[in-house]
């Protein structure tokens, strides 16, 4: 019988999950029941959103329970199937969890991977949640117009780097904010930002003012906290602020204080909108097809940071919040 | 020669303007030049927004300068005219200032008052900035759907009372928040709210939870501060928060701190949008016609609080922030 190794939640973190909150268990792989199928995971995803999934607070999804397999996106191949829509050999991406094998049904699958000319790992990054988040957050809320200025925080990250490239392609001036000289260089040299700012250096506000001589029309934020507090002061009338993540705030229980933004939103007639790519699932194929075409034409660059083996998973979230990763972080379990 | 008495800004307030920041001067009324016309003001408006107009900070309009006539809406009748579009006898509403007579051109006029079957004073309240703010803020940002819950702060006020009635007409459950037993009674008995809460009593959060068993879909806010901090915790997924005013915060230099809202907007995929009726000027006639028809049919109730004489103007703004007025505050200079 096939053995499955899986990462389960051992204790509930407050704030950022660390390696010690998880443990690796070994179990038998059950046979898929009626309508179910067995997937061999090839890549597991590591995403900042996973912090929210294990925190106890009411969130946009039910928290992972102690003893449960860590919820995650994963990409894999169907090995055995009782669902004719997912025959053996199909590549799928979905909520398959941090484990080597998943017995599941169609409900967990986000999409079938049809762009088999491209690496399957992309389905978890630039063609996965990250790309979809960038695509839908920017197009439905940011709504950038040619000539506008778009500021992106975590600008070299898996989402931010795509936002910057999509906005630039639409004729916007793009300004990236990232932590450290390496990421600033990536912003300028790999991701084509018109300007990039290292928020760890002093003088963020001066640098921002200089980089945005015409103010800020779209702010795509993944940080909250002091970076946002600075950027919001430079928004233009009718600016759109996309709230995509809050990486700089370690805990939201209780909600931390910061400058009240409502009067500024009022005088600027600006809007601040929270956003989750999940809400656009009915349009995933459209977005993937658009992004995959850009990749094939060499118009969209991305970075992956691949860790090998299930043992790398438990400690892999904390690094994201420390800003240690360069590119979309993945766990590789097997080669295609 | 006609004498004009006018209220000018004497010194710049920080926070809420008081009587001592103004003085009344007497001057000659000049003859209207080419393209100009002379308006005799009948009613002057007193609006919370006037605080922003005299504060030095960059705002949505240039601050009133020391020695200038206090900017305000007013309604009056054209006495002499060199503009054929505004012949003698026309009733107009516009930025005519806190003064008895205004020599102006078409640029200052917001609209011609055509609903002459209704009192001219309404053009400064329910058919003026207040009604337009309620109408456009609710319809363009709030977008209430039948069955949704709409919460309104300053619910018995000149804007809030109209928001509540418009939302209820659209089939929403309406919940008003107001200060004191008198205003709560007005909310329930005059403005038809389904529930009303006195925020000055202890237990705002419990009262809100009880009044909104299905959560909050639209929050129309005129307060900022602690009332908003409470309401926002009860918003539903995809809630719309209309930022219309910030009456509970006396000064925004520097921006005061409050709970950071971005993570909550994110998990709720909610939106918070600042709003000014001025941006919808091209649709004023449509809104006035809609609201005037409701008034004629007895479907829209309003309150006015009329003070007599120019001397009442300088001290009239501070009272608004103390919550002392019951109804739209106006200064009457002459009877129609």
Which CATH number do you get for residue B318?
3.90.180.10
Out of B225, B260, B270, the one facing A258 most closely (by C-beta) is B260
How close A330 gets to chain B, by Cα (Å)? Answer: 24
pLDDT of residue B6 exceeding 80, the answer is yes
At B58 the pLDDT is 54
Q: Which residues have CB under 8 Å from B261's CB, separation 6+? A: A255, A261, A272, B232, B272
Q: Could you tell me the two tokens for B121?
A: 């004073």
Q: Do the beta carbons of residue B196 and residue B190 sit within 8 Å?
A: no
The C-alpha atoms of residue A231 and residue A176 are separated, in whole angstroms, by: 11
CA dist A258 and B257 (Å) reads 5
Whether B252 and A244 lie within 8 Å, measured CB to CB: no
- Residue A104: is the preceding peptide bond cis (ω within 30°)? no
Q: Is 60 exceeded by the pLDDT of residue B18?
A: yes
Closest of A34, A36, A59, A41 to residue A49, by C-alpha:
A59
> Among A252, A262, A264, A281, which would you mutate to test the B interface (most chain B Cβ atoms within 10 Å of its Cβ)?
A262
pLDDT, average across residues B61-75: 94
**Pair (A68, A142) in one structural domain:** no
Tokens of B320: 């608004």
What b-and-e string marks burial along B149-169, b requiring 16 or more CB atoms within 10 Å of the CB?
bbbbbbbbbbbbbbbbbbbbe
- B246 and A263 in contact by Cβ < 8 A? yes
pLDDT of residue B213: 98
In a domain, A94, yes or no: yes
Cβ pair A224:B256 closer than 8 A: no
Same domain, B142 and B271: yes
Report yes or no: A257 and B260 within 8 Å, Cβ to Cβ. yes
Query: Residue B292: inside a domain, yes or no?
Result: no
Structural contact between residues A124 and A96, judged by C-beta atoms closer than 8 angstroms: no
Q: Do B274 and A259 touch (CB under 8 A)?
A: no
Cβ distance A269 to B279 less than 8 Å, yes or no, reads yes
B222 and B109 belong to one structural domain: no
Using CB atoms, which residue from B266, B267, B274 is nearest to A269?
Answer: B274
pLDDT score recorded for residue B37: 98
Q: What residues in B contact A246, CB-CB < 8 Å?
A: 262-263, 266
Same domain, A177 and A73: no
Beta-strand relationship, A101-104 and A37-45: antiparallel
Whether residue B168 is found in the same domain as residue B268: yes
Of B216 and B247, the one with more pLDDT: B216
Q: Is B258 close to A260, i.e. CB distance below 8 A?
A: yes
Q: Look at residue B1 in the predicted model and tell me its pLDDT.
A: 75
pLDDT at B60: 62
d(CA B213, CA B207): 10
Which chain B residues touch A249 with a CB distance below 8 Å? 260, 263
Per the CB < 8 A criterion, the answer to whether A7 and A69 are in contact is: yes
Picking from B268, B274, B279, the nearest residue to A265 by CB comes out as B274
What is the DSSP code (8-state) at residue B303?
A: -
Which chain B residue has the Cα nearest residue A243?
B266
Asked if residue B298 is part of any domain, the answer here is: no
B180: pLDDT strictly greater than 60? yes
Rounded to an integer, what distance in angstroms lies between the CA atom of residue B37 and that of residue B105? Answer: 6
Residue B255 domain flag: yes
Q: Which of B225, B237, B259 is closest, CB to CB, to A257?
A: B259
Q: E-strand spans in A201-256?
A: 216-221, 235-243
Of B252, B257, B270, the CB nearest to A274: B270
Q: Are A106 and A85 in contact (CB under 8 A)?
A: yes
> What is the percentage of chain B residues whose pLDDT exceeds 90?
88
Distances (CA, A) of B168 to A237, A334, B138, B250, B299: 31, 59, 12, 31, 11
Is residue B295 situated within a structural domain? no
Give pLDDT, residue B59: 61
CATH number at residue A246: 3.40.50.720
Contact A268 B274 (CB under 8 A): yes
B134, B244: one domain: yes
Residues B138 and B264 placed together within one structural domain of the fold: yes
* Tally of domains within chain B: 2
Residue with tokens 């307060």: B223
| A270 with B274: Cβ contact below 8 A | yes
Q: Do residue A315 and residue A184 come from a single domain?
A: no
Separation of alpha carbons B68 and B6, rounded Å: 9
Residues A309 and A211 reside in one and the same domain: no
- Which pLDDT score is estimated for B166? 98
Residue A203 placed within a domain: yes
Same domain? A18 vs A48: yes
Give pLDDT < 50 ranges for chain A: none
In chain A, which residue's Cα lies nearest the Cα of B248? A263
For the residues B229-246, what does the mean pLDDT come to? Answer: 97
Helix, strand, coil in percent for chain B, rounding step 5: 30, 25, 40
pLDDT 10s digits, B128-179:
999 999 999 999 999 999 999 999 999 999 999 999 999 999 999 999 999 9
Residue B84 lies in a domain: yes
> Does residue B262 lie in a domain region?
yes
Which tokens in the block code for residue A99?
């484990």
> A167 and A100 in one domain?
no
Out of B60, B252, B263, the one facing A224 most closely (by C-beta) is: B263
Q: Are residues B142 and B212 in the same domain?
A: yes
Find, among B155, B159, B210, the residue nearest to B188 by Cα.
B155
pLDDT at position B251, please? 83
Distance from the B243 Cα atom to the nearest Cα atom in chain A, whole angstroms: 6
Tell me A249's DSSP state: -
**Residue A305 CB neighbours (<10 A):** 17
Alpha-carbon distance of B129 to B120, in angstroms, equals 14
Contacts of residue B224 in chain A, CB cutoff 8 Å?
A: 260, 262-263
Q: Strand, coil or helix: what is B258?
A: strand
Q: Which residues of A touch B257 (CB under 8 A)?
A: 257-260
Domain with A72 in it: 3-125+302-332
Tell me what ipTM this predicted complex has: 0.89
Q: Do B266 and A274 touch (CB under 8 A)?
A: yes
Q: Smallest Cβ distance to A274: which of B265, B275, B276?
A: B265
- Token digits for A51? 């912090």
């Amino acid at each position: 019988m096939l053995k499955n190794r899986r990462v389960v939640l051992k204790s509930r973190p407050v704030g950022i999950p660390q390696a010690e909150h998880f443990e690796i268990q070994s179990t038998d792989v059950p046979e898929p029941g009626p309508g179910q199928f067995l997937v061999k995971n090839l890549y597991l995803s590591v995403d900042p959103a996973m912090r929210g999934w294990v925190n106890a607070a009411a969130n946009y999804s039910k928290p992972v329970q102690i003893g449960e397999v860590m919820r995650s996106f994963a990409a894999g191949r169907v090995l055995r199937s009782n669902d004719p829509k997912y025959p053996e050999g199909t590549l799928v991406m979905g909520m398959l969890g941090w484990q080597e094998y998943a017995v599941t049904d169609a409900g967990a699958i986000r999409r079938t991977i049809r762009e088999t000319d491209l690496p399957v790992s992309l389905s978890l990054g630039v063609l996965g949640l990250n790309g979809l988040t960038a695509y839908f957050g920017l197009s439905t809320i940011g709504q950038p117009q040619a000539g506008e200025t778009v500021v992106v925080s975590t600008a070299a990250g898996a989402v931010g780097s795509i936002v910057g490239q999509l906005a630039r392609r639409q004729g916007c001036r793009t300004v990236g904010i990232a932590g450290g000289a390496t990421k600033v260089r990536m912003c300028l040299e790999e991701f084509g930002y018109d300007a990039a700012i290292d928020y760890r250096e002093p003088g963020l506000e001066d640098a921002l003012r200089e980089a945005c001589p015409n103010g800020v029309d779209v702010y795509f934020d993944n940080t909250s906290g002091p970076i946002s507090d600075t950027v919001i002061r430079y928004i233009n009338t009718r600016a759109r602020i996309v709230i995509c993540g809050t990486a700089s705030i370690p805990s939201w229980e209780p909600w931390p204080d910061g400058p009240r933004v409502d009067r500024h939103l009022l005088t600027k007639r600006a809007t601040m909108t929270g956003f989750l790519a999940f809400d656009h699932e009915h349009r995933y194929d459209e977005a993937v097809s658009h992004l995959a075409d850009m990749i094939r034409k060499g118009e969209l660059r991305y970075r992956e940071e691949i860790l090998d083996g299930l043992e790398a998973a438990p400690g892999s979230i904390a690094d994201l919040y420390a800003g240690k990763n360069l590119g979309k972080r993945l766990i590789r379990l097997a080669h295609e």
